Amino acid sequence: MDDTELRTTVLKVLGQVAPEVDLERVEPSEDLREQFDLDSMDILDLAIGLYQETGIEVPEQDYAQVVTVDGAVAYLTAHALH
């Protein structure tokens, strides 16, 4: 997957985790927890959804790296199997 596909995947999963979020208004570099009042369970669900969509596991100690769209894309890119 390239960056565009990964960004689309991250937004898709975010929309599943938090259907009330307007995906057009997401600031990619801002913390999703602050933008949309997501809690730790939402971040867990995001990590699980990313795994289901990409096959890339996000362990709990790495959750802080995927709390922004840009961070999630960078994390997935860095951990993708080539």
Which domains, and CATH codes, for the chain?
Answer: 3-79 (1.10.1200.10)
Q: What is the pLDDT of residues 29-73, one digit of tens each?
A: 999 999 999 999 999 999 999 999 999 999 999 999 999 999 999
Q: How confident is the model at residue 81 (pLDDT cuts 50, 70, 90)?
A: confident
pLDDT at position 19 is: 97
Q: What is the pLDDT of residues 9-32, one digit of tens each?
A: 999 999 999 999 999 999 999 999
Cβ-based neighbours of 53, under 8 Å, separated by 6 or more: 9, 12, 13
Is the pLDDT assigned to residue 82 strictly greater than 60? no
Q: Quick check: pTM over 0.85? A: yes
